[in-house]
Structure 1
Amino acid sequence: MTRQAPLIAELVNLATTRSRGGGSVKPLSGEDLATAFAAQFGDRTSAALRAVPDAGERLAELATELRHALLAERPADQAARINAMIRKYGAQPYLVEDVGQPFHLHFHGSFGTQVEALGGEFATALALIVDGYGPDRFGICEAHQCEAVYIDLTRNASRRYCSTACTARAKTAAYRSRRQS
């Protein structure tokens, strides 16, 4: 669950965010999106993702679905969107023993390409986050000129920024504002 959270946020931010870190960015699409997102994974998953002929388009669709689920205004809407994604991507639990790790659960989608497998995994991760942390753990960065999403897995639900860079920018701006007053 916690391993997928940064990947979910990264995919959403790569494909849907128009301002990030204090400046305008162009959302990635097509081959650019597939290449950038595949770089987040190890060789095997990265290669499988890049082998999908229309990976960029599929990833963009998944990113849009994830963004709508993350930022749903009501918990009931959020749950409905997440449940729809779990059904769409056919998430099926199974145990995996990775090198150097004990058996643990994966929830890859049960059909389709590597994108659909990730769709099942990400939808289930969101469901587990809502179950374990509550529905209010997703948000948009509060830094000026940043609309990147974040997933807050802190104990006290204190996260408000997408990155340490945006946290530092916001703190610096607040400090300068106080000094001028």
Structure 2
Amino acid sequence: MNELHVTQARGRSLEPPADRRAALEAAFAHHDWTPVPRDESDESPVRLTVEDADRLAGVAAELHAVFGGDVAALNRALVRHGAVPSLHGDPPVLAFHRPGADRVDAWAADACTALAMVIGVGQGRRLRSCEAEGCDLVFFDVTRNASRRFCGLSCQNRAKATAYRARRRT
């Protein structure tokens, strides 16, 4: 989601990837994730289309607001992408998209449901946006007391150095 939507990260401006399809495929490879075939009986690997990548970028923008607490946006996305629990495949696997959904709606419905489940079990405060100036990255806070404020050490260090310099000036 971060790669497709954010315009600032770690204090630097970012341009959206010119080739979203290639960026998504690289992200999938980095996380060792293989998209499922359109037809569940087909074993061949799936290649994203440019249209799929553009639609997924729209989903990323739509879901970015959820990390800021916009539950209404999540509810709209759940309805728009047809999120319903169902069993797919053999052996059956629980998924949260309607049977026959296209690839983007299936991924979006599953992602929306995952976010809704996090919020629904009282862990919505763990869906965070980086608090550093010049960083729009979002993350899931896995700390014990849900106290993480920054996406990573570079933003944390930058924020602490800025605060230190401000204190020294006064």
Q: TM-score range by the shorter chain?
A: 0.7 to 0.9
- Residues 109 and 168 of structure 1, relative CA distance in 2, 3 Å threshold: farther
Aligned to 1:5: none
Alignment partners' CA distance in 1, 2:166 and 2:88: 51
Aligned to 1:55: 52
Aligned to 1:157: 146
TM-score scaled to structure 2, two decimals?
0.72
Please say if residues 128 and 140 of structure 2, whose CA atoms lie closer than 8 Å, have aligned partners that are also in contact.
Answer: yes
Q: 1:170 aligns with which of 146, 159, 168?
A: 159
Q: 2:25 aligns with which of 35, 40, 43?
A: 35
Alignment partners' CA distance in 1, 2:116 and 2:74: 6
What RMSD in Å do the two structures reach over aligned CA positions?
Answer: 3.2
- Residues 54 and 177 of structure 1, relative CA distance in 2, 3 Å threshold: same
Please say if residues 108 and 121 of structure 1, whose CA atoms lie closer than 8 Å, have aligned partners that are also in contact.
Answer: yes
Alignment partners' CA distance in 2, 1:40 and 1:90: 28
- Give unmatched runs, 5+ long, in structure 2: 37-44
- Residues 62 and 40 of structure 1, relative CA distance in 2, 3 Å threshold: farther
Output one character per residue of 1:63-99: Cα deviation in whole Å (capped at 9) or x when no partner. Answer: 1110133324xxxxx33322222222222335689xx
Alignment partners' CA distance in 2, 1:163 and 1:126: 21
Larger Rg: 2
TM-score scaled to structure 1, two decimals?
0.68
Query: Are 1:82 and 2:71 an aligned pair?
Result: no
SS in 1 for 2:35: helix
What fraction of aligned residue pairs are identical, expressed as a percent? 33
Alignment partners' CA distance in 1, 2:101 and 2:133: 39
SS in 2 for 1:80: helix
Instruction: Return the offset for 1:130.
Output: 0.8
Runs of 4+ more than 4 Å apart? 94-97, 175-181
- Residues 171 and 105 of structure 1, relative CA distance in 2, 3 Å threshold: farther
SS in 1 for 2:155: helix
Aligned to 1:91: 83
Aligned residues between the structures: 159
- Give unmatched runs, 5+ long, in structure 1: 1-10, 73-77, 98-102
Of stretches 171-180 and 63-72 in structure 1, the one that deviates more from structure 2 is 171-180
**Structure with more of its chain in helix, by fraction:** 1
- Residues 80 and 173 of structure 1, relative CA distance in 2, 3 Å threshold: closer
Amino acid paired to 1:79: V
Counterparts of residues 57-72 of structure 1 (less than 5 Å) = 57-72=54-69
